[in-house]
Amino acid sequence: MSKKQPKQRAFPQGNEQASKPNQKKILHKETLQDTNNDENTQSNHYTQFSNKIFKGSKYMPTFIKEAPGKSSCICMKCRDPLTGKLGQAMLVNSLLAHIKSDKHYANTDPKEHKKLQELITLLEGTKKNKEINSEDKGDKTDFETKSFLKFLGFLIGQNLSFSQIHNIGSYLQKAANEKGLGFLKISSFNEELLSKITRECFRPILIDGIINSLKTKPFSLSLDNATFSGEHFCALKVKFLDLEWNDELQENISTIKNKIIALHNLKESSSGKTMEEILNLKLFQTEEIKNNLIGIVHDCASSFTGSDVGLINLLQKAGKEFLTFETLVIV
């Protein structure tokens, strides 16, 4: 008569508690639990008990209960190997190995074997997904590091200062957090388009802001004439103190503002009278602005310093008092 063969398990066997007598044991509270093959335990990373460990299973909470100690739990289907009492304590990290063990299988009602198999499949699938996500995260981090260095190299190659790079980076980070970078995929950065947008959209708004500031704040004016490609231009720049919000200090601080008011084509004339007309057109729009002018910086050109028709003399004849500063021109 042939000897009856034992019934085979329908799923892979786990590590038996006493399958290898030389396996390392970890003493945890009232019980000894085999965690030799648990990667998390070997790396000293202990998972804390919470509802997350059930991975949405309704079956697992029926026999796995919380134990004293944040990283411990109790299997109510198995007996403690030391006391023989129902309820085997273990590390949360060891749950999967225990649930896959022959001991737990033997202590599980045969009617629940299907649920046990489904639970093991769920837990093993979650573990595998974690490993895949970890690898993907590493690849993503490498890609983002390379992208950052590439972007940083581009900005440095444009001869931008560290301060300018900091401002650009801070703006992009804020825009990314607000999900406001979608325009990069659909917008054009054509030079002619940028010039038109600046001239027709931004310039009027920026000039109005500067003019409103000069109505209430003392300012100095810098004047300079220059020639570009055979054309003569006059540049007007103002300097004044204004309050600006500082994110680090969380308060408004006084900041020196340097703003270009106009770059005017002189055409055929660059006389003092022409300079005066440009100031009246581009800057002196109200009496408040005229009265807030406290100083003028210029070079030694006759259009500025001429005794009768120079700009400085014409302004003084009009009753305006201010300081004048002549810049040194080295030829």
- Domains in the chain and their CATH numbers? 26-108 (no CATH), 204-326 (3.30.420)
**Angle (deg, nearest 10), helices 162-177 and 113-157:** 150
Element (H, E) at 326: strand 323-326
Q: What local confidence, expressed as pLDDT, does residue 233 receive?
A: 84
Separation CA 309–CA 271 (nearest Å): 7
Spatial strand order of the sheet with 64-66 comes to 64-66, 72-79, 86-91
What is the pTM for the complete model shown? 0.45
What is the distance between the alpha carbons of residues 24 and 36, in angstroms, rounded to a whole number? Answer: 6
Paired tokens of 74 = 């109790």
Q: Where are the beta strands (DSSP E) in 30-103?
A: 31-33, 64-66, 72-79, 86-91
Contact 278, 264 (CB under 8 A): yes
Distant-in-sequence, close-in-space partners of 141: CB < 8 Å, separation ≥ 6: none
Query: Cα separation of 203 and 3, whole Å?
Result: 97
Give the pLDDT of residue 12.
46
One pLDDT digit (tens) per residue for the chain, 331 residues: 445 554 545 444 444 443 344 443 333 443 434 433 444 544 457 888 988 888 889 999 999 999 888 889 999 999 998 888 999 999 998 898 999 999 999 999 999 999 999 998 888 887 666 666 665 666 667 888 899 999 999 999 999 999 999 999 999 999 999 999 999 889 989 999 999 998 889 988 988 999 999 999 999 998 888 877 778 888 889 999 988 888 778 888 989 999 988 888 887 777 778 888 888 888 888 889 988 988 888 877 777 776 777 787 888 777 666 666 555 443 3
Give the pLDDT score at 319. 67
Rounded to 10 degrees, the C-alpha dihedral 212/215/221/226 comes to 40
- Tokens of residue 278, six digits: 């440009």
The predicted pLDDT at position 151 comes to: 93
Question: What's CA 324's distance to the chain center, in Å?
Answer: 47
pLDDT of residue 234: 84
Q: How far apart are CA 132 and CA 127, in angstroms?
A: 9
d(CA 144, CA 45): 27
The DSSP line for 267-312 is TT---HHHHHHHHHHHT--SHHHHHHEEEEEE-S-HHHH-TTTSHH
d(CA 276, CA 212): 21
Closest listed residue to residue 168, CA positions, set 252, 176, 244: 176
Q: Angle at the Cα of 272 (from 271 to 274), degrees rounded to 5?
A: 65
